[in-house]
Amino acid sequence: MNEQSIFIGAEALPALQALLARPAVSQVFVLVDANTQRWCYSLIAPYLPAGHQVIEIPAGEEYKTLATCETVWAQLTEARTDRHAVLVNLGGGVVTDLGGFCAALYKRGIRFVQVPTTLLAQVDASVGGKTGVDFLSYKNQLGVFQEPAAVCIDPRFLETLDPRQVKAGYAEVIKHWLIADAAAFAHHRYQSITSVDWENIIRESVALKQRIVAADPLESGLRKLLNFGHTVGHALESYLLTQPGREILHGEAVAAGMVCEAWLSHQKGMLDAAALEQIELLLFSLYEKVQFVTLETDAIADFARQDKKNAGTIINCTLLQGLGNGVYDQPITLAEIAESLRHYHRL
């Protein structure tokens, strides 16, 4: 996707309106979950064409499944949707990932527009053309690369979120600083999250991700940098998804994963102790510790066997060669992942 297809701020919803008004668009569907139907739909409704149809799915990571996709495809089929239709995905990472996946597969592909409503989706999930769903408790196990027709980012949607959701999204912003922008990390790490200029933060974070994605759209190399915190983070998130009542938000898992992977970077001589301390201080000032017991660390680590960056039996991870300098394809072992989790647990 070129930068002209991403609209941020006051231009976002008028751009959506203009795109959907094109004569080539035969039908418009809006995918929402229970939360965005209640809190966000009214904000975009004035910009939608008459006759659009709403498809609602339940809210929550546990519904990011093929079964939910089937309900979406069934409603599109019942409405006799053709290949000139557009699906507008109004929601956080679950809705934008799942909606993009549904659109990419329906009749071999219909256009879709991402209208992300959470900070995590605005700076990460909706940008870059990744779509997918969870499968057998593994995060994003099924998916395709498919660029949206546009991404329309309006920071006003953040006003509909509780503070926990905002902080979860902020983890992806911090990740961008740690892999590619040491100056931003140094500048912002003392700033209170309550005084952030969100539109500026979103613009900077999206621009950084877009530069990486443009250089490696299919994640064969450089784009793997964006997975910092996600090897351990996804393993932790996936494990807790199998434990009823212990589910955590994606950004909370990534924050924990960044602590673990920064520690692994230090253990391998890539990150000095002062930088590790700065990362740990920032992340623990923002996020409560994810609860697990040390006896679970091997079971959590085992989920990393299914990580998408792996090559055969080698678990590949993105680590830090200093602040602001991510290095991808760094092999780590299950034992090292488990030990990093024990380090996190001790902090």
Residue-wise pLDDT for 243-257, tens only, equals 999 999 999 999 999
Print burial letters for 272-308: b (CB count within 10 Å at least 16), e (below 16).
Answer: eeebbebbbebbeebbeebebeeebbeebbebbebbb
Asked if residue 238 lies in contact with residue 245, where contact means CB atoms within 8 angstroms, the answer is: no
What's phi and psi for 293, nearest 5 deg?
-110, 155
Three-class DSSP category at 13: helix
- Residue 132, CA atoms < 13 Å, CB-side half-sphere: 15
| DSSP 8-state secondary structure symbol assigned to residue 228 | T
Bridge partners for 91 per DSSP: 116
- DSSP letters for 177-190: HHHH-HHHHHHHTT
Query: Which residues carry out catalysis?
Result: 108, 130, 172, 209, 219, 223, 227, 230, 234, 250
Helical segments of the chain, H only: 12-20, 34-39, 41-44, 66-78, 93-105, 119-120, 163-180, 182-188, 198-215, 230-241, 250-267, 273-286, 297-302, 334-346
Using one digit for the tens of pLDDT, what is the confidence trace for 56-115? 999 999 999 999 999 999 999 999 999 999 999 999 999 999 999 999 999 999 999 999
Q: Are residues 208 and 201 in contact, defined by beta-carbon separation less than 8 angstroms?
A: no
Token pair of 79 as six digits: 């409405």
Domain 3-160 belongs to what topology?
Rossmann fold (3.40.50)
- Give the whole-angstrom CA distance, residue 120 versus residue 254: 11
| Domain residue ranges in the chain | 3-160, 163-346
CATH architecture of residue range(s) 163-346: Up-down Bundle (1.20)
Return per-residue pLDDT of the chain as tens, 347 residues.
555 699 999 999 999 999 999 999 999 999 999 999 999 999 999 999 999 999 999 999 999 999 999 999 999 999 999 999 999 999 999 999 999 999 999 999 999 999 999 999 999 999 999 999 999 988 999 999 999 999 999 999 999 999 999 999 999 999 999 999 999 999 999 888 988 999 999 999 999 999 999 999 999 999 999 999 999 999 999 999 999 999 999 999 999 999 999 999 999 999 999 999 999 999 999 999 999 999 999 999 999 999 888 888 999 999 999 999 999 999 999 999 999 999 999 99
163-346 has the same fold as 3-160: no
Contact 303, 138 (CB under 8 A): yes
